[in-house]
Structure formats: C-alpha cells, structure tokens
Amino acid sequence: MTFELELRGITKRYPGVLANDAVDLAVRPAEIHAIVGENGAGKTTLMSLLYGLFPPDEGEIFIRGERVEFSSALEAIAAGLGMVHQSFKLFPTLSVADNVVFRQEPRRRGLIDRAASVARVRELADRYGLAVDPEAVVEDLPVGVLQRVEILKALYRDANVLILDEPTAVLTPQERDKLFEVIRRLRDAGGTILFITHKLGEVMAISDRVTVLRNGRAVADLVTAETDPAEITLHMTGRAVDLDRRAPEHEPAQVVLKVDSLTVIGEHGRPAVADASFEVRSGEIVGIAGVAGNGQSELIEALCGLRETDGGAVSLVGMEITGADVAGRRSAGLAYIPEDRYAVGTIRQASVSENLLLGHHRNPSIQHRGWFDRQAVARLARRLVEVFDIKAGSVSGPVSTLSGGNLQKVVVAREMEQGTPLLIAEQPTRGLDIGAIEFVHGQLVRFRDQGGAVLMVSAELSEILALSTRILVMFEGRIVADLDPSKVAEPEIGLYMTGAHLEKAVA
C-alpha cells in the first residue's frame, strides 16, 4: 500500500547529540497517528524536519509515495502538510476569517473580498464541525476556540496531513473532548492526523496507531487497539513507572501560609483575583485547579511579591508579608517554582551554577560581605547537580543547552534546597516527559513529608488529583470550591473550572 506519509532513516545530529537516529515513520491515509516520547526524545526535531524548518542530515521523506525535500515550511504547506503549534500564531486584533485567509485572501478586482473569506471560512468550519464564528475577533476567544482557528488555517490551505503538537496542554477536559471529536471527524473525511503528545490517556483515547520515540530512535510502532498504556510506557522510558501515587494520610499541622481576602486588580482594571481567602498548612499540598487565565497567575505573582495587591493580607508562618518585596518574602521562607521555566525560572545566557544560585545568592553560606565564596558556590552547584541528577555537561556551561526536564530540575533543585517552610509550585510539570514528571512529583511529596507546605497550581487535573491534600478551584478570580480529592471526580472539578456549577445553582 502507499503510505500517506513516510519517513525513512531520518537522522539529525547536533554537536554532541544525536537528536534523531535513523527514524522510520509510516503513516497510513486517514489514520490518527500518535507520536509519543519523553522530552528530548526527538519529537520536536522530527516534526521540524518534516515541516521543512531545517533539513535532515540523512534520510528521505515521501508523501503519497513521492520523495520530497522541503527547504521551508511554505513548501511543506504547499505539499499538504499543516502544523498546529503549541503556541498559537494568530493576530489578536483581527477576525477569525482574516486570520485564516491571511496571505491567501480571496480577491475581487485586486482587493480582498472579505465577504467571500467569511463565507469560505464558515463553509469550512461547518464541513468539519468546528464551532467557530468567522467574524469574531480573535482576542475575545477562549483558548479552545483559538486552536480550532489554527486547525482551520491548515484546512484552508488544503492540508491532508495535520500535525498537532501537544494540542491538549491548554484545554479543559470539556474542550479536549470537543477537539477529539473534531479530529475524528477530520479522519472520517479522509484526513490524516499526526498527534504529538506525552499523555498516554490521550494516545489510548484518540489514536489508531502510535509510534514511540526514545533517545532519538523510533522504538515501537504499535496498533493502539492491540496495546495498553503499560506497554507504551515501557517503550518510552525503558522501564515501568507509576504516576498514580495518591497522597498518603497524614495530619495537617500548623498554618504556614494564610491568605485573607486577597484582591488583585488585573490589567484591564477588573479584579484578576477577587477576595481570595485560604490557608496552607505544613505537611499538605494544596492544589489550585482552574482553566488558565482565571487568576491563578496573578494570585501566585501577588503571593511572591511580583505584583501589587489591592486589598487583603498575606502572612507566612505568622509573619505579615503583605507589603514585603520579593527578597523579603524569600528570606521569610518562600520558595517558588514559576510557571515559565524558560522566561522566568532560568536565565538562558547564564551558566548552570549561576542559575542554581538565583534568588539565594545572598545566602551567607556562599557569600561574605558581597563577595562570593567561589569554592562554596562550586560545591553547592556540584552537589545539587548530583543529588537532583541534573544532566549537564558542566556546571559552568550555559544552562540553555539543557533539555526541558533538566532545566526544570535546576529550578526544583534550587527552590527545594533552601528548606523553606513554603513552596509554591506553578505548573511544575508542564511540558515535561513522564520520567521528569515522576521526579518532580516525588520531590513535591518529599517536601511535604518533611513538613513543608506546598501550594501548587496546575492545569493538569490528574496531577492535582494525584498530589493534592485539598483542591481549590479558581474561576474568574474567585476561589469557587474547596474540595477533598478522595471524594470528588474529574468531571465535577471540570464543572467548577468552567463556572457551570453557577448555572446549576441558578437552575
């Protein structure tokens, strides 16, 4: 048979790294083909090679039996490939239709025919069951809809093969289910979908076949119906892992963090955090669930001193820190794993050891009167690299060469090392592979078991459910629920996350 898409012996080398090692991939027409692997396994590189972003060192690409060589993404698009990136590439102030037809606008007498573009986008959306209003302005739309706009962009350019890169990372469970419907409909209409993910549940739910990458090699090509998550995990990691580790029973001890009626006014003058009150005790992990953009980031930034508050009080181990600056809060006993490990948590131009110091560089154990004890710094860095198993060439090498998982280990190592009473962990495992997720979860649990208090924000409900002692749900800046994870199911949390509980209450 002719494959829709076939990669043969694709190899890509970077100095010292074999990113893709003779990868074979065969995708049949009208199938949903999942590509799974840990971060650093070579998924992103493989897709970039396929999409013409840079050429492979060796190997061939065939589309419907014909050998192709792309020197740019434009050529890949012309050959019928469409990619939906994880970060959306849309013009926020333009309409959905304008975004979709961009650079291929229908024209009439040399001018853009707006009516025709709206009509064509509407027709396309209806055909594939993508619920999108072509005339809506992009910046007013929720994330799930933006993703549909990206899919429409690809379909408008006649994509036969749609590549979705970690498409569910930003979606609520309900949005995810809708996306799956769309994907199935596309397949039934004859489209081929490459679905990149590291979530096994999604692989099982949506894919027809699955290719597993590990260390740059394609180690397995499986029919989904004939395999199970355990087998895939084994291929991904080379060993078995257990993610569903429930929090053990324990007694919550004294209050570490006390937040009282905290209000933060957001960018548009509306409260981003409204009257939030809660406590975190030592020996517990409090998970904050919610769809991204419902005030979690603002709440955390306010707690960490990175954002001004507009009412309420915060205290840390009994000490009032409402007006303290970042340094003051850190020395009062706050550690913080930020959401964005690339733009905030680490400094890409700095070395591994410089990154391991950040935020604790005034600690008297490594500096005297403003001069670093260089041996103490080196010892600290070497010890953290060893204890947390950070895979770095050298501690004085640039941190930018580390993989995502190792970068997060740098952040986790740095923040955990200080033995503070409170750890705030914001999306601590986003974008990480299973091995790294397991590691970070293990560290959070260890921190809790040593008597630390953890406040965790996560968009992953499974993560919240697996780790939390209590679950707070944020919706539109308010804490709308305080739940016991042993007595609540995922769909119920989803209702709170989307505000549906409010409608229920009214009805």
Partner 1 sequence: MLRRFPDFLGDMSRRALVSPVTFSLFFAFALAGAIVAVTGGDPLAAGEEMVTGAVTGSGLRNTLGRAVPIVGMALAVSIAFRSGIINLGGEGQMVIGGLAGTMVAIYVPGPGYLIVPLAMLAGAVVGAVWGLLPAYGQTWLRLPILITSLLLNYVARAVTGYLVRFHLLDDAVTLTSTRQVPEAARMPKMPVFGGVSLSLILVMVLVALLWMVYTRSVAGYESQMTGFNMRSARYGGIDVEQRTVQVMVVAGAIGGLIGTHLIIGEALRFIDGELVLAGFAWTGLLVSLLAVNRPIPIFITGLFFSGLQIGGLAMQRNAGVSWRLSQVLQAVVIVAVACRLSVWRSERRRAEPSEADAAGVGEV
Q: Which of residues 54-113 bind partner 1 (CB under 8 A)?
A: 54, 85-88, 90, 92
Q: Which stretch binds partner 1 (CB under 8 A): 76-84, 105-113, 218-226, 332-340?
A: 332-340
- Using CA atoms, how far apart are residues 95 and 113, in angstroms rounded to an integer? 14
The residue within the footprint of partner 1, chosen from 108, 245, 250, 362 (CB under 8 A), is 362
H/E stretch holding 21 reads strand 17-27
The residue within the footprint of partner 1, chosen from 246, 270, 391, 446 (CB under 8 A), is 391
Q: Which stretch binds partner 1 (CB under 8 A): 100-108, 115-123, 260-268, 319-327?
A: 319-327
Which residues 6+ apart lie within 8 Å of 406 measured at CB? 390, 391, 392
CB of 417: closest distance to partner 1 in angstroms?
A: 14
Does 379 engage in binding with partner 1 (CB under 8 A)? no
**Residue 21 or 166 with smaller CB distance to partner 1:** 166
The residue within the footprint of partner 1, chosen from 139, 158, 181, 482 (CB under 8 A), is 139
**Residue 108 or 372 with smaller CB distance to partner 1:** 372
Ramachandran sector of residue 335 (left: φ over 0; alpha: ψ -120 to 50; beta: rest):
beta
Give the residue among 488, 440, 435 at the shortest CA–CA distance from 461: 488
The residue within the footprint of partner 1, chosen from 359, 421, 428, 494 (CB under 8 A), is 359
Beta bridge partners of 475: 478
**Residue 40 or 312 with smaller CB distance to partner 1:** 40
**Residue 87 or 506 with smaller CB distance to partner 1:** 87
The residue within the footprint of partner 1, chosen from 73, 137, 204, 347 (CB under 8 A), is 347
Q: What are phi and psi of 449, to 5 degrees?
A: -65, -25
| Amino acid occupying residue 64 | R
The residue within the footprint of partner 1, chosen from 103, 248, 268, 371 (CB under 8 A), is 371
Q: Which stretch binds partner 1 (CB under 8 A): 120-128, 380-388, 402-410, 439-447?
A: 402-410
CB of 110: closest distance to partner 1 in angstroms?
A: 31
DSSP line for 249-286: P----SEEEEEEEEEEE-TTSSEEEEEEEEEEETT-EE
Give the residue among 138, 155, 139 at the shortest CA–CA distance from 101: 155
The residue within the footprint of partner 1, chosen from 112, 205, 344, 387 (CB under 8 A), is 344
Does 238 engage in binding with partner 1 (CB under 8 A)? no
Residues of span 407-426 touching partner 1 by CB under 8 A: 407
CB of 455: closest distance to partner 1 in angstroms?
A: 16
| Amino acid occupying residue 442 | G
Beta bridge partners of 455: 286, 424
Residues of span 37-56 touching partner 1 by CB under 8 A: 39-40, 44-45, 48, 53-54
Which residues 6+ apart lie within 8 Å of 353 measured at CB? 377, 378, 380, 381, 395, 396
CB of 86: closest distance to partner 1 in angstroms?
A: 6
> Distance of alpha carbon 482 from its chain centroid, rounded?
24
**Residue 206 or 402 with smaller CB distance to partner 1:** 402
The residue within the footprint of partner 1, chosen from 245, 250, 270, 361 (CB under 8 A), is 361
- Using CA atoms, how far apart are residues 132 and 122, in angstroms rounded to an integer? 8
Does 346 engage in binding with partner 1 (CB under 8 A)? yes
- Using CA atoms, how far apart are residues 86 and 492, in angstroms rounded to an integer? 27
**Residue 19 or 63 with smaller CB distance to partner 1:** 19
Reported as half-sphere exposure (CB side, CA atoms, 13 A), residue 426 has a value of: 20
- Using CA atoms, how far apart are residues 101 and 164, in angstroms rounded to an integer? 20
Does 367 engage in binding with partner 1 (CB under 8 A)? yes
Does 403 engage in binding with partner 1 (CB under 8 A)? yes
Beta bridge partners of 32: 193
Residues 204, 207, 211, 216: what is their CA dihedral angle, to the nearest 10 degrees?
-80
